[in-house]
Amino acid sequence: MINSFSKLKISSVFLTLLISAPAIIIFLYLFSGSSDNWQHLKDTLLFEYIFNTLYIMFGVAILTGLIGFTTAYLTSLYTFTFSRFFHYALILPFAIPTYIMAFIYGGMFDITGSVTTFILDLFDTSLNEVYFFDIMSIEGAIIIMSLVLYPYVYLICKTYLSFESASIIDAAKTFNLSSWQILKKVILPVSRPAIVAGVTLAVMEAIADFGVMDYFGVSTFVTGIFRAWFGMGSVEDAAKLASILMTFVFIIIVLERLQRRNKVYKSSGKDFKPIDKIKLSGGKNVAAVIVCFIPFFLGFLLPFIQLCYWFLLSYEEIIDEDFMTLLYQTLTLAISSAFIITGLALLFVYNVRLNGDKTSSSLNQIVKMGYSIPGAVVGVGILSFFAVLDKYVFDIFSETFIISGTIIAVIFGYCVRFLAISINNFESAFSRIPTSYDDAAKILNIGDKKTFFKIYVPLLKNASFSAFIVIFIEVIKELPLTMILRPFNYDTLAVRALELTQQAQIVESSVPSMFIIIIGIISVILLARNMNKV
Amino acid sequence: MLKKLALTAVVLGSSLLASSEVNVYSHRHYDTDKQLFKMFEDKTGIKVNVVKAKASALIKRMESEGAKSPADVLITVDAGRLYQAKQKDLLQSIKSNYLTTNIPEKLRDTDNKWFALTKRSRVAVYRIGSDVENQLKTYEDLADPKFKGQIMVRSSNNIYNQSLMAAMIAHHGEEKALDWAKGVVANMAKAPKGNDRYQVKAVANGIGSIAIANTYYIGKMVDNKDASQRESVKKVKIFFPEFKNGGTHINVSGAGVAKYSPNKENAIKFIEFMASKEAQELFAKGNYEYPVLAGVKSSDLVSSWGQFKDDTISINTLGENNAAAIKVFDKAGWK
């Protein structure tokens, strides 16, 4: 007889296969024979792709880690002027899609940007006479990506610090350590898994980015994939590059796993005690405000002001009936995808908790890989996968019905891409639930199903909510997958924003962008309020 | 939820069966096109369903969908992709007297599998007051060391650059094209980045003196809400270079009928409409493109830039040479 134990496991295996099918198909292209294009790539660009991708990984890891942890540390352990405001405000950059950020920063700070030319005019000098930092460079890309992505680290560290640090800090205080010593000797080491988890997500997103890198002229694996595929028409070479990229990500995931294994801080299960926040004053107060203000200003306020200005110039022209349909479609798509993905993630993580074996946790690792594959590549994998399904499975039912180009295909694409985020979210939430609960349930002989619904679901309510919101925002911002897989006459806000920028209507593109950001802001506020409840 | 989704999918799937429709896979994303589709719907009562994405993604989608593909018409912004679609056997030959009589032979496929709908040319844009006017005559000149540190051009990932290189290869062969590319790289004012408008803005602001850009972007910059684009474009002028043994490089947007088109008749009607006088006029006025239909005038702004002679090579060669063009770029170090 199959008990719910193995039922869960069997469905996890099945779902993993389903979700990894597009990636497997991409991998299969590896064996499709090598072309002379590949030799050419090796001779010319491969080294540059590897170097730049590593440079971006390194840069984004350092910057997001630094900004995310410092701000999380300050706002969780101290009160200072505006600290409650920063609690919310520091998550806001998350609401701005990276490609929109790149356009805005390009528009203001590149060599022809409004800010640059204003400064040059002011000093009556020209670019040839002075050196200006060119934002449209690999370093600029790292800065832009980090400004948008540091909230991953901030969110995870903050949840961790608010939940875990009180007892540790109290213990440390009994040894008469100074705040600095506590930070260095206690908080930093115990926060390492949280920092690494956040940084991993940020880095994965950064190396899967196309929009920013293409606009800034930075060659990475992803731009290479597009070049091989769109330019040379060689899906095989694109897939080979994607496979190398996936290997990179696999290494990141394994490293993250390894370092976490050495440092497992499971909750002791004692009652949760909120931190007694220390009040800062004088110079320290000012310093804390400045440290929190800079990422908020650069990551949100400045680009937002520019967008507001553009929005006012153009909203009358853009907002019409079609636009409202677009808004409705985007919202319903995001809500239904977020529901499905959150549910699936819960299933995957619960399977690991319950079965606790290597197979189950490696299933999760496989599922997580999808996040690192650029959306467009996932799109191609899905097209190929559904082509097979349509040809051999659905043909039995109907001669005309196809799954490609339907909403199902789009949502499936989001599952492949975004399950990693919600799984990560649940993993850290699960690790905070003491194992004694499971043991108690076992001793009392309560079934797994009952344990799940009576114990886990209530305990995971907040984590589920965060997972839902984060996926919701991701779907609203998502671009390449939606472009490739969407049905006829189906647009989203992100797609519309991109279309307008491609038509040189950067000003007009601020309207859909603004809606994306406003929806993002509302979600982020909900997220932050939810975090308070943790 | 899943049930509901499946239902939606079935409804969507079956609605594609209706005969008074035409399903368009388009790489073009201009508001003008939206207007044109509306005009076609009003005129014929045939509903236009559109999916917009990058051409290669659309081609891949048609490939994956195979015989069940709902696509009737494929539209791309360059000839290279239409060539690819034809190579992959995704398009069918059609018989249309209107199209074969009205679209010049050079601007359509040899087997009538696709037809050009609009033209744009890739030109040099120089800063007014610089001495470029007297020094620049041909595309080949762009590699001349006298322009060291002067040229602004976007990355070789871009299809417009790839087509320009494909044309260069058609004129001079790969070896000479590589020498040319190396020369241009040595003359660049900045490493390639940004789009065509960025190059024009850079030149207007004193970085380099020649930008390589497509004509219709200049129109878009003149008519723009962003003041910095309007100001920049006032400081520059368009020059139409020629190949030494040809004319000015042009590329086309074009359309073909999908091989498994479920609404073939509508598809043909649709393409004929896009090549009709009224549609061509809107292309010309709304999007600053050059019409392909004889007798249709360009917009006043476009006409003010002056006349040019089309390159003599067939548009078909741009697609054939595309992969070779990319390799030449890579070897020359053109990012």
Show the domains of chain A with their CATH numbers.
1-23+319-534 (1.10.3720.10), 34-285 (1.10.3720.10)
Q: Report chain B's C-alpha Rg in angstroms.
A: 21
A82 shares contact with chain B (CB less than 8 Å):
no
Read off the pTM: 0.83
| Nearest Cα to Cα of residue A412 among A369, A372, A383 | A383
Return the residue matching tokens 């790292």. Answer: A142
Residues 6+ apart with CB under 8 A from A173: A182
Q: Identify which of B49, B207, B322 has the shortest CB distance to residue A111.
A: B207
- pLDDT beyond 90 at A406: no
- Contact call for residues A60 and A206 (beta carbons, < 8 A): yes
Chain mean position to CA A389: 30
A466-508 pLDDT, tens per residue? 889 989 998 998 888 888 888 888 889 998 888 887 776 778 8
| Sign of CA pseudo-dihedral A319, A324, A327, A331 | positive
Contact map slice: A 480-499 vs B, CB within 8 A = 483-484, 486-490, 495, 499
**Residues of A with Cβ-Cβ distance to B28 under 8 angstroms:** none
Chain A, chain B: beta-carbon pairs less than 8 Å apart: 182
Decide if B21-119+250-298 and B121-249+308-332 have a common fold: yes
* Sequence-ordered list of residues with C-beta below 8 angstroms from that of B256, at least 6 positions apart, any chain: B73, B74, B82, B85, B86, B91, B92, B109, B113, B114, B115, B271
A150 versus A347: the higher-pLDDT residue is A150
Chain A CA closest to residue B320: A232
**pLDDT profile of chain B (335 residues), mean per 10:** 49 52 91 91 94 86 87 91 91 95 91 94 91 88 94 91 94 96 95 90 89 91 84 92 93 94 96 95 88 89 90 88 92 92
Per-residue confidence at A272, pLDDT binned at 50, 70, 90?
low
Q: Which residue has the higher pLDDT, A80 or A235?
A: A80
pLDDT band of A1, cuts 50, 70, 90: very low
Residue A270's SS3 state is coil
Judged by a CB distance cut-off of 8 A, whether residue A250 touches chain B is no
**Torsion sign, CA atoms A18, A23, A28, A32:** positive
Residues 48-67 (B) with a CB less than 8 A from some CB of A: 49-57, 60-61, 63-66
CA distance A151 to A141: 17
CB-nearest partner of B56 from A230, A390, A402: A230
Q: Does B12 touch chain A (CB under 8 A)?
A: yes
Cα dihedral value A139, A140, A141, A146, nearest 10: 90
Residue of B nearest to A384 (CA): B64
The mean pLDDT of A24-33, rounded to a whole number, is 75
The rounded distance, in Å, linking the Cα atoms of A419 and B223 is 44
Amino acid at B116: A
Q: Are the C-beta atoms of residues B140 and B244 closer than 8 Å to each other?
A: yes
User: Quick one: how far is CA B44 from the chain centroid?
Assistant: 27
Single-letter amino acid, residue A439: D
User: At a CB cut-off of 8 Å and minimum separation 6, what does A171 contact?
Assistant: none
Residue A417 phi/psi, 5-degree rounding, is -75, -40
A242 contact residues in B (CB cutoff 8 A): none
Which superfamily, per CATH, for B21-119+250-298? Periplasmic binding protein-like II (3.40.190.10)
CA gap B282, B299 in Å, rounded: 9
Which residue bears the tokens 């989704």? B5
Distance CA A176, CA B312 (A): 85
Beta bridge partners of B239: B124
What's the confidence (pLDDT) of residue B241? 94
Q: Which of B68, B104, B113 is nearest to B86 (CA)?
A: B113
| 295-334 of B, contacting A, C-beta below 8 A | 322-323, 326-327, 330-331
Residue A181 confidence class, pLDDT cut points 50, 70, 90: confident
CA A403 to chain centre: 27
Three-state secondary structure of chain B: CHHHHHHHHHHHHHHCCCCCEEEEEECCCCHHHHHHHHHHHHHHCCEEEEEECCHHHHHHHHHHHHHHCCCCEEEECCHHHHHHHHHCCCEECCCCHHHHHHCCHHHECCCCCCEEEEEEEEEEEEECCCCHHHHCCECHHHHCHHHCCCEECCCCCCHHHHHHHHHHHHHHCHHHHHHHHHHHHHHECCCCCCCHHHHHHHHHCCCCCEEEEEHHHHHHHHCCCCHHHHHHHHCEEEECCECCCCCECEEEEEEEEECCCCCHHHHHHHHHHHCCHHHHHHHHHHHCCEECCCCCCCCHHHHHCCCCCECCCCCHHHHHCHHHHHHHHHHHCCC
Span A48-64, average pLDDT: 95
Q: How far is B25 from chain A (nearest CA, A)?
A: 9
pLDDT of B19:
62
Max mean pLDDT among A64-78, A443-457, B43-57, B303-317 falls in A64-78
Asked if B254 contacts B75 with a C-beta cutoff of 8 angstroms, the reply is yes
Secondary-structure breakdown of chain A: helix, strand, coil percentages, each rounded to the nearest 5: 80, 0, 20
Judged against a pLDDT cut of 70, whether residue A152 lies above it is answered with yes
* Residues in chain B within 8 Å Cβ distance of A214: 155, 157
User: Is A128 within 8 Å of B60 when comparing Cβ atoms?
Assistant: no
Task: Calculate the alpha carbon distances from A168 to A177, A182, A188, A265, A419 in Å.
Answer: 12, 9, 12, 11, 32
Question: Which residue stretches of A29-131 are H helix?
Answer: 36-44, 46-77, 83-89, 98-109, 114-122
**Number of neighbours of residue A483 by Cβ within 10 angstroms:** 23
Contact predicate B181/B327, CB 8 Å: no
Residue B277 is predicted with a pLDDT of 94
Q: Which residues contact A94 (CB under 8 A, 6 or more apart)?
A: A148, A151, A152, A473, A520, A524
Of the partner residues B31, B66, B323, the one whose CB lies closest to the CB of residue A233 = B323
**B80 vs chain A: nearest CA distance in angstroms?**
9
Contact at 8 Å (CB) between A485 and A409?
A: yes
Ordered by start, the domain boundaries in chain B are 21-119+250-298, 121-249+308-332
**Percent of chain A whose pLDDT exceeds 90:** 25
CB contact under 8 A, B16 and A380: no
Q: Which of A70-84, A212-226, A264-278, A515-529 has the lowest mean pLDDT?
A: A264-278
The CATH T-level fold of domain B121-249+308-332 is D-Maltodextrin-Binding Protein; domain 2 (3.40.190)
Alpha-carbon gap, residue B227 to A157, rounded angstroms: 43
Task: In whole angstroms, give the CA distance from residue B82 to residue B11.
Answer: 31
pLDDT tens, residue by residue, B43-63: 999 999 999 888 888 998 898
- B chain contacts of residue A47, beta-carbon cutoff 8 Å: none
Note whether A402 contacts B: Cβ–Cβ < 8 A: yes
Taking only residues 201 to 220 of chain A, the set having a beta carbon closer than 8 angstroms to any beta carbon of chain B reads 214-217, 219
* Binary contact (B327, A391; C-beta < 8 A): no
- Weakest-pLDDT range from A189-198, A269-278, A285-294: A269-278
